[in-house]
Structure formats: structure tokens, C-alpha cells
Amino acid sequence: MTMLRVRDVTVRFGGIVALDNVSLDLNRGEILGLIGPNGAGKTTMFNCISGVIRPDGGSMYFDTHALTYAPPHVRARLGIARTFQNLQLWGSMTVEENLMTPMDALGRRNTFSDALYLPFSAYAERASIERARAILHVLDLTPYRRTKAGDLPAGIQRRVEIARALAMRPRLLLLDEPAAGLDAQETARLGELLRAVRERFHVSMLLVDHDMSLVMRVCDYVYVLDFGKMLAKGQPASIRNDPKVIAAYLGEESKKLAEDVETVAATRRDELPLLQVDDLAAGYGGLEVIRDVDLMVRPGEVVACIGANGAGKTTTLRAISGMIHPRAGRITFAGKKIAGASPEGIARLGLIHIPEGRGLFPTISVEDTLRLVSNTAGVEVDISAAFELFPRLRERGHQLVGTLSGGEQQMVALARAILSRPRLVMIDEMSQGLAPTVVRQLFEIIRVFREQGIAVLLVEQFVESALDVADRAYVFEHGTIGLSGSAAELRSDRKLVAGSYLGTAVDEAPMARANGNGNGHRIDPSLLELMSVRVPAKLKRALEQRAETEGRGAGALAVELLGKVDEQ
Amino acid sequence: MSALAAYTIIGLSLGGIFSLAALGIVLIYRTTGVLNLAHGAMGMFSTFVAWQVFYGWSHPFWPAWLATAIALLAGLVFAAALGLALEFAVFRNVRTREPVVKAVITIGVLLALQSAASLIWKNNQYHLPIYVVPQTWVWVMPGADVPVGANSILIIAVAVGLAFGLGAFLRYTSFGRAMRAVSDSPTSASLWGVPVSKVSAVSWMLGSLVAALAGILITAQGINFDTTSLTLLIIDALAAALIGGLVSLPLTVLGGFVLGLLETYPTIWIQSIGFPRLVALLVILAVLIVRNPRGFAAVAAK
Amino acid sequence: MTSTSKLMVRVALTLVAFTVLARIPAGFDVGFKFDAALAVIWAFGLLSLVLLTGYVGQISLCQATFAGVGAYGAGMMVSSFHADYLVAVVVGVAAAFALGVVVGLPALRLRGITLAIVTLGIALVFDRYVFQDHAFEWFTGGSGGWRVGEANVFGLRMDSSAHLMAAYVVLLALFCLVALLMVNLHDSGAGRRFRAIRDSELAAATMGVDLTRYKLLAFGLSAAIAGLGGAFYPLVAGSVSPQPFWLFTSLQFAAIAVLMGVRYVPAAALGGVFMAVVPDVLTRFGHGTFLGHQYDISYDWFSIAVGVLLIIQLIVLPDGVWGDIRNRVHHAWAAATAIGTRKVKVA
């Protein structure tokens, strides 16, 4: 019953103990969650299980096979597949080819017979194509069969990544932050997909992610790591209420930061706008991503931009800071027209952009990075002010920025922003990839900006926190502004907030009904037995296609047909 | 004992040459992110310009030192112009591409420069080099019986001086910081208000100047002055650069000396023109497989 | 298009190409025939890069070295061991294959620039040391190199002068065969595994591709292809020397392969012609008077052009000359066939 057994695994990187005698069990048919704050060691554990890192101590067993020394391709043969957080698709190959490659890598294929189209290869090739098509159908990817993987949008690419892992006929699927970068709606769909995949492909899963709603919704059992040690384990509901977990990971309830909001906003309401954007349109290559974008930031204001992934928030910021050239529209900053100007010139006017990924220099030390501010400000800047604000950086002064944790890097980026005394700071997804406690600390820093009279334009997925700290907000939809207003107004719009990450009460009851084939058809749980019987792929597909044309679930159709058989 | 000392001195002289050649490569890599395979060719071309001024255009009435100084100046001015031209015509358009692509572009620069030089100055086997210090200035080290040319000492001095000088410049000055930022991430640097184009131009000019200086001094030392010899030094220069991890200038110079010694000592037993190249290759393999200095993180990753 | 009909189209195209190209040098002098044969030999070298860099994504700056090993191996077999030329070719190819696998070993750990540096080192070591030092005279035939006279392959008499045409035809036939195999390889399972290594080694390893096996195989096969061309060099040129296989030839291979499009087989053929025929034609006919000035195009002009064109191409056309042509044709074809087809809704 126990498929994966990890016992007392220890991993050390130099002086740091990343994992300290961690053990876990994964049972057949389970979806297991592994969570923890940044730096807790979950990625390290993940990499140990998938074969990227060898542990310094402990052992791992997959069924009866010892995993410790097996290289990645041997683990693949044992039935362990994984997806990658940053998507390692084979971009120049079609989706179909992406799926076929793991299949034939695990079969017995031979270079010479392949090149000469010998009968064995041709037969294996046809079989692979069949299987690939079946998987694509289940995951709703058939229209993209012949598209190059590199040309697909990110959401589809994620499904392809999962499809490819499934093409290996794995018994265990390791999912590395599959919800990274997805908004609330997409994450919910992902959760449904994972459950459907488990039913259809009889695959057990180990899930590592930050997104609590996904983990709680989808997992049967959860392990919590903190500082390399096992902190807690149990069912999702009990984990959520465990005080240790709450303290370490979920953090305290968010304090309202809203006290000073009204004052500042009131005093400066009559000043001319610092940043004025009219009819902005911009895009990449041949695609137009945003159009008719109008927004405005007054001096000293904090303005939030929220909205789903792909709605155009990042593109807007990039067009303002000069990273991309706008196609149309006017951008005025402090009285100067800046549309189409170079990023360097715009930065020197006092408009700073902290992009996604933080825009730092991995091989330069923290101190040198902060000193770099003097270059751009034109005057010598006292970097000790930054260390007062972020004491944690003081001891890391000589460390290379690339070796810092995500939260610390964000601190460096914010420190730089403060030191350069800009007039407006644009921050893109400050909280991305960071644990909630760290995020709360960073949002506090926004207050410091406000105190110094620096205006902030904030793109955020944490809707609640963003609205807590902002004066006004714009809601982006499909490349333009859908909604705008004061933060107070928007906060009271329940529908809006419900779609966000932190505000929702986690759905305690897991998805009671599994999806028949991942594309929205629902089947009765009692039919799970039926559907889990191994039916030839062709037959299953025929059933599904027939069911679609009749507008009902495949399971229902199967039951009906079988019922008819029984009658005879 | 004196035989060993003699070989050591020869090895250190050779090492000086490697150090000077490697310095420029590491400098350019650290400030532009490009592994410049055309480095030797750039130095060669600038040296030819100096040669042209000295042997072709200098006035017969000028004293030797004046002609040399003018030729040197001409070579360096040309080198700066060459660096500037490369930044504006070539590298500013490929700032965001992968390191491998940029290295292949330097192959194109190499071929173009080499053939252009061959075209202009005819591909004769051997040209007379420029002597910055007279050949006759020689010092015999006591107990070793090996004469050490002043040029050789000059090379070593320049290599060590540049290593520490440029190293300090990169580490401690604000312009040096800006150069490092630009090579690390040009997009981030521009968002920080760093004038990327200007900084990059200075980086290439500086690198080209070092290449020219190296070319002039080295061709006076023992490496043939023709269109290909300086390029063929690339393997030894890269070995020294790798010992320095492609990051540390002083370690690169040290690496050069170590390599010089490693290539010279075997000649006690093995007389072969080509064998030292094998030594250089083995050093490269050893360093790459054993070490993983932080300069490699970007290099080895892609 | 099913894979069998695709295969038949490819075979047909190859046969047509062969018949057309085989006739071309017939009417010209020996010098031109030599260029043609050399073009094919260089095309083998470029083809080896298409496999290694284009398909598998491994950079190598020592392909001419592999060709040289093939050349010296064959020369040695003929001159020292008086072997049949066919046997000599096989030995040359085997030697190149072996060296390729050895060079592939560092590739298991290194990528990108560091791998390029190692192959650069290999090229220099062979150029300056192995091909020139008298410790290896048994292999290289001393300072003069091996001399090869007439040979008899497949019943055809061939040598470097009167019977050069026969050598050219055999070379061309072999090239067409290997090119066809490579195009098939690209779409096959093995080709997918190679391309997976190119696009993401990490994913390839995790999805079951044995990196060691496939990388070494790629290096070995690539070296063997270059060696196959090189093995015919002694026959076509009459003798072997280190000069044609020195470092700068390897660099030119890299430059021209990238210029023409390192992922495409026809680009290799194009590049071979470019390397061997164009400079010679230019030097022969490229002189005279233009607007009152005497001009004389020498090989150096060609080399400058390659360098400059490479730089321009990498900035503007990342896919290479052939790649760009092919993409335009594909787009035009797709646009043409899309007009006039109604989209049928799939139930």
C-alpha cells in the first residue's frame, strides 16, 4: 500500500542543513501535499525524490526499489514522472512529439532501426501516436496536437507538461508548484484536472505548492516542513487548524493597514497627477496585449492594479517604464512626455520599476547593489539607511544577490527603491512566490513609501492585501481597464474579492464528485468503479465522442449501454 | 639547480605572455558577458596598425623612441575605435541573446579581422615587431645563467599591474560597478537608470585597448608576428582565464604563470613544438571538471 | 501525409538531386572537378554539425579535426598497409567515430561555452601536435603526409586527376544517402530523443532519455560523418597534409553551418558549395578592371565576407539562410492552402 517510503533523509548544502531527518510515506492512489514556507526544504525534498539531488543521509524506497543512487532516467523507468515549475517543455517539438518522446524512451527503441524506418520502429511509432492522442483527448489538448510547444500560451503549456508526464505511464507523478503564476480561477481548474487525472490514469501524486487553496482542495494528506524539519502532518482540515502550522506558515491574521489612507489621499487630492496615462496600447511581436488603458497616479498615492493573469497589468507597467514601446497613447510623468523614451532616461526622472523577477543582478553583492543607486541618483547615497529598514540584509551585505532567498531579494529591490528617492515606484507582483508571513512584512514597507511621500503603483494578486494598503485601484480585464474606484469601494465588492487568494474561506469539503474526463463532464461517484476498469483507449475515446454529441457524460452513456447489455 | 632555475625563468616569461593575453579575455567577459574568441585577432590588427605607422609611415628624422611612442599611440587609438565600432555595429544588437550565440559572433569577427589583415598587409609569414623596450636591454639573473629580456619583465609588470588595477577598478569604483551590472543583466541595468549603451561601449574599448597592448608586447617577445599567431594563443589564454574562474583578474595572472611553468618543464624531457598545447588542454579539462567557480554558473548553465 | 508517403517523396527528391548534381562538373576542367569533390567533402563536415549542433544542441569547434582523422586514417591504410580503398575508408570512419566518442565524454558534464572551449582545445592540439609531431608519424606519414595514387572502389577507377569524376560521383552518392538517413532520423523516435536533449536536457533525463548513451552516440556519429568525407580527401587531393584540417577550418565550419542554418540538412549542401566552389570561382574570374581600377578578389575577400555575413545573419536571421527561405516557403504554402478550405467543425 505504501508506494513511496522516505526515511530520515538529510541534505546539507555547505553549512546549511536543508533537510534534517525527514520521513514521509505516500500511499497508492493518494494525492500527497508537501508545503512549507520558503526555504523550508520542500523543493530540496522534491529534488531528492526525483533524482536531481542525492541526499547525504537516509533512504528512499519506491515499492521495493531503493532510490538513492538511481539516476533520473532509471527513476523514469520505475514509474516516477515529474513536472517542472518553470516548464521544461521541448519548445521546438510539437505537442504530439512531446508526448511521444517519453513513451519511446521507455520502450526499446534503437537509433538505427529508427533512421531506416525498419518495421519494428514503424509499428512502435504508430502505437505511440495512438496513445498520445488518447492522453491529449482526456486533457482537452487535441486542437494543439500539431502545434509547436513553444508557441502555446502558458496555461496550455502547463497542461501539456502534465500530459507529457502522464505519457510515461507513471505510477507516481511529482508536481512542482503547478499553480505558480496561475490566478484563482485557473488554479481551481487545475485542482479539478488533477483529481480527474488521478481517476483516469490511476496515478498517485506528490504535490508541492504555495497555493493553499489548491493543496487543501486536492490533497488527501499533507506534510508541513519548516527549516528542514517535519513540522506537522495530517489531513488538510487538521493542518489548517494546527496552531504550529498557522504560526509558521499562515502567519497571523492580517492587520488593517488602512489607518493613514484617508489622510494622505485627502491632502493631495488637488495636486496635478504625477503619472498620467491616456489611451495606451502596447503588445509583443504581432500581438496587441493592452489597448485604451487610462490610468492616473497622484503624488504620494498608492494605487493598485489587480486582475486575472494575462489581463495586461505587467504589459502596462512595462510600457510605462520604457521596457517596451507603446503603440499608441500618451504617458506623462511629472509634466514630461515619456512614451517611447528609454528606460534609463525614465528611471532617472524618478520613475522606478521593480519588474517581475525583481530586476536584480545575481552576481553582484548586496552592498554593491545598493551602492549602485549612487550611480543613477547622481549623488552619493548612504546605504546604511537601507540596513536600518531591513536589518536582515545587514548580515548578508557581502552575499551575492543571486544566493538570497526570494523574500530577501525583494527586500533588496525595495531598499534600492527607497534609497533612490523616486517620485513613483511601480512594483510588479511583489508577493510572487513568497510565503504569507514575508508578504505581510513587505506590505508594511509600502507604508514607508507613503511616509516619504513616494507614490506607488502596485500590481498584485493578493487582492485583499493590495486593497488594504491602496488608496485607489484599477481592475484589469482582457487587456483594458474594466473597473476602477477607491479601495474602500472595491473592497466591499464581494464577488471581486472572492476570486482572490487570501480572502476565501477554504472549501473544507473536497470535491465530492470527480470529473469524468477533465473537461467539465461530471459522473456519479458510484461510477468510479466502472471507469477505473482498463478499457482500451480507442473504446474510451469512442464513448466520449459519442457522449459529447449526445450532450451528456461518458459515464452515464457507459452505464446505459452496459445496462442494455445486462437486460439481454 | 641552475638548469631548473633556468627553466623556471623561461616558464615565468612564457607565463607572463599568457597572463597578459588572458587578462583581456576575462575583462571583456566580466564587463560584457561575451567570451571573446576574437581577442587575439583584435590585438593583432591593432598591432599591425602600429606596425604600419612605425615601419611604413614614420619620418626618418624622428628618434627611435618618438617613432615608437607615436606608433604605440596610433595602435591604442585604433584599438579604442575598434572596440567602439564593435559595440555599435555588433554587440548592441545582441545584448539579450545567449552567451553561446555571442561567442559564435566573435568567430565571425575573428574571421573578418584576420582576413582583412591578411588582405591589407599580405599574408607573409613574418613581420618585424615593434620593440617598446630595446631588445638589447637584458638582465642576467645571477645563478641561473639565463638572460631575461627587459620586454619580458615589462610584460610581467604590465600583467600584474593591470590585474590589480583593473580588478580594483571593477570592484570599488562606481563605474566598475555599473560595468558589472550591465554585463550581468542589461535589462535590469537600464531599469536602474544605468546608461547601458555608454557603459558597454567603454567596456569594449577598454578590452580592445588591453588586447592591443598585449599584442604589441607579446609579438616583441617570442610569438611570431603574423595574422594568425595571436589567435592561436587562445587556448593557453583560456586555460589561464579558467584557472581564474573567469572572474578574478589576479587569479587569472597567477593561472598564466602556473600554465607557463607547466608548459615549460616538460620540455626538459620532451622536445616537441606541439606538446605544450596538449598541456594547456589538459589544464582546461582539469579545471572545468574539478572546479566550479561562481563565474561559471552562467557559463556552464547554457 | 503518412510517414511512408513522406519517405517516398524524400527518396524521390534525393534521387532527382543526385542525378542533377552528378552531371554538373562533367563539362568542366580538373580544377573545377576538384572543387566539386571538395564541396562534398566539406558538406560532410557541415552535415556533421547539423547532427551534433542542429539536432542535439551540442556545440563543437573541432569538426575539421574529425575529418582530418578520417583522412589520415584512410591515407595510412592505403600507404602503410596497402589496403583496398574501401577498407581504408571504413578504418578512417571508425577512427573518427572513436575520437568522437572520446570528445563526447567531457560533453557529458559541460555545456555551451565551456564545451566550445574544450573542443577548441582539441582542434588546436590535433592541429599543432598530433598532425605535425613526429611522434605520430605512423599515423600522419611524416612531414610530407601520405600520398595516394589511384584507387578502385566499387569497380570504378578513381584518382585525383584523370578519374576525379568517378570519385566525385561516389562521394555525392554517399552524401545523398547519409543526408536522407539524417532527414529520416530527425522525425524518428531517435531524432525526438536527440531534439529533446537539445531543448531541455533536464526534462529529457527525467523523461527517460539516457543522456550518456545519446550524447556519446551523437558525438560519435557526427565525427563519423565528418570522417567519411575526410576519408576521401587523400584520394581526391592526392595527398594529406595538416593544413586543410586546421583550427580555422573548424571555425569556418561552425560559421558557415550557422550562416546557412545549422538545423537543416540542405543547408549543409549549400554550405559545402559555398566553401569550396565560391572562393575558387571568385579568384579565377574575379579580376579585371572596374571604373578604371584594377581589382583582384582573393580568398581573403571570401573569408571577410563569411565573417561579416555571419555577424549580420546572427543579428537578423537566427535560423540561417536556408532556414529563413524554408520558413518563408512554409508560410506561403500554409497561407495558400488555407484559402479555399472551409473549416470543418469536428464533432
What are the pLDDT digits (tens) for C306-329?
A: 899 999 998 887 778 888 888 888
CA B249 to chain centre: 12
Confidence band of A564 (pLDDT split at 50, 70, 90): low
- Per CB-CB distance under 8 Å, the chain C contacts of B301 are 111-112
Is C80's pLDDT higher than 70? yes
Output the nine-digit C-alpha cell for C120.
Answer: 577548441
Q: Rounded to two decimals, what is the model's pTM?
A: 0.83
Can A1-79+170-250 and A274-350+423-437+446-501 be said to share one CATH topology? yes
Q: C145-180 pLDDT, tens per residue? A: 788 877 777 777 777 777 788 889 999 999 999 999
Query: For residue C301, is it within any domain?
Result: no
Which of B88, B105, B107, B224 is best to mutate for the C interface (most C CBs within 10 A)?
A: B107
- Per-residue pLDDT at A523: 35
Calpha distance A400→A530 (Å, rounded) = 57
Domain boundaries, chain A: 1-79+170-250, 94-156, 274-350+423-437+446-501, 358-421, 525-567
The amino acid at C40 = V
Confidence band of A554 (pLDDT split at 50, 70, 90): low
Query: For residue C347, is it within any domain?
Result: no
CATH 3.40.50.300 fits A274-350+423-437+446-501, yes or no: yes
CB contact B188 to A (< 8 Å): yes
Q: What is the CATH number of the domain that holds B8?
A: 1.10.3470
Say whether A250 sits in a helix, a strand or coil: helix
- Per-residue pLDDT at A510: 31
User: E strand or H helix at A539, and its extent?
Assistant: helix A537-550
Calpha distance C268→C266 (Å, rounded) = 5
| 3-state DSSP of chain C | CCHHHHHHHHHHHHHHHHHHHHHHHHHCCHHHHHHHHHHHHHHHHHHHHHHHHHHCCCCCCCHHHHHHHHHHHHHHHHHHHCCCHHHHHHHHHHHHHHHHHHHHHHHCCCCHHHHHHHHHHHHHHHHHHHCCCHHHHHHHCCCCCCECCCEEECCEEECCCCCHHHHHHHHHHHHHHHHHHHHHHHHCHHHHHHHHHHHCHHHHHHCCCCHHHHHHHHHHHHHHHHHHHHHCHHHHHCECCCHHHCHHHHHHHHHHHHHHCCCCHHHHHHHHHHHHHHHHHHHHHCEEEECCEEEECCHHHHHHHHHHHHHHHHHHCCCHHHHHHHHHHHHHHHHHHHCCCCCCCCC
Is C267's pLDDT higher than 60? yes
Mean of per-residue pLDDT scores for chain A: 78
Q: C96-150 pLDDT, tens per residue? A: 999 999 999 988 888 888 899 999 999 999 988 888 888 888 888 877 778 887 7
Q: Which domain holds residue C203?
A: 3-282
Among chain A residues, the shortest Cα distance to B178 is held by A372
Q: A57-92 pLDDT, tens per residue? A: 899 999 888 888 788 878 888 889 989 877 889 999
Query: For residue C287, is it within any domain?
Result: no
CA B256 to chain centre: 11
Is A519's pLDDT higher than 50? no
Number of domains in chain B: 1
Confidence band of A309 (pLDDT split at 50, 70, 90): low
The answer for C 183-212 residues in CB contact with A (under 8 A) is 184-185, 188-193, 195-196, 198-200, 202-211
Is A250's pLDDT higher than 50? no
How many helices (H) and strands (E) in chain A? Answer: 24, 20
Query: For residue C53, is it within any domain?
Result: yes
CA distances (Å), origin A513, targets A196, B14, B134: 10, 77, 91
Is A349's pLDDT higher than 70? yes
How large a percentage of chain A has pLDDT more than 90?
20
Query: For residue C333, is it within any domain?
Result: no
Q: Among A479-493, C128-142, C189-203, where is mean pLDDT lowest? A: A479-493
Query: What is the topology classification, in CATH, of domain A1-79+170-250?
Result: Rossmann fold (3.40.50)
Number of domains in chain C: 1
Give me the DSSP letters along A51-101. TSS--SEEEEEETTEE-TT--HHHHHHHTEEE--TT----TTSBHHHHHHH
Q: A154-199 pLDDT, tens per residue? A: 778 888 999 999 998 899 999 988 887 676 677 888 888 899 888 8
C300/B105 touch (CB, cutoff 8 Å), yes or no: no
- Per-residue pLDDT at B295: 37
Is C296's pLDDT higher than 50? yes
Q: Which domain holds residue B191?
A: 2-301
Among chain C residues, the shortest Cα distance to A72 is held by C206
Confidence band of C339 (pLDDT split at 50, 70, 90): low
Query: For residue C338, is it within any domain?
Result: no
- Per CB-CB distance under 8 Å, the chain A contacts of C207 are 73, 76, 81, 101-102, 105, 164-165, 168
Q: A230-248 pLDDT, tens per residue? A: 888 888 888 877 777 766 6
Say whether A514 sits in a helix, a strand or coil: coil
Look at residues B135, B162, B161, B153 and name the one whose alpha carbon lies nearest to residue B12. B153
CA distances (Å), origin B282, targets A528, C148, C217: 63, 34, 23
Most confident by average pLDDT, A264-278, A280-294, B248-262: B248-262
Q: How far is B22 from chain C (nearest CA, A)?
A: 14
A42 vs A318, more confident: A318
Among chain A residues, the shortest Cα distance to B186 is held by A361
Calpha distance B20→B215 (Å, rounded) = 9
Total residue length of chain C: 347
- Per-residue pLDDT at A270: 67
B212 CB-contact burial (10 Å; exposed 0-12 / middle 13-18 / buried 19+): buried
Q: What is the CATH number of the domain that holds C167?
A: 1.10.3470
Q: A105-155 pLDDT, tens per residue? A: 666 666 666 666 666 777 778 888 888 998 998 888 999 998 899 888 877
- Per CB-CB distance under 8 Å, the chain C contacts of B223 are none
- Per-residue pLDDT at A297: 92
Is C54's pLDDT higher than 90? yes
Say whether A553 sits in a helix, a strand or coil: coil
- Per-residue pLDDT at B222: 75
What's the rounded mean pLDDT across residues A508-534? 35
**Residue A418 main-chain phi, psi, to 5 deg:** -70, -45
Contact in structure between A34 and A59 (CB atoms under 8 Å): no
Residues of chain B with pLDDT under 50: 293-302
- Per-residue pLDDT at C228: 96
Chains that touch C (3 or more CB pairs under 8 A): A, B
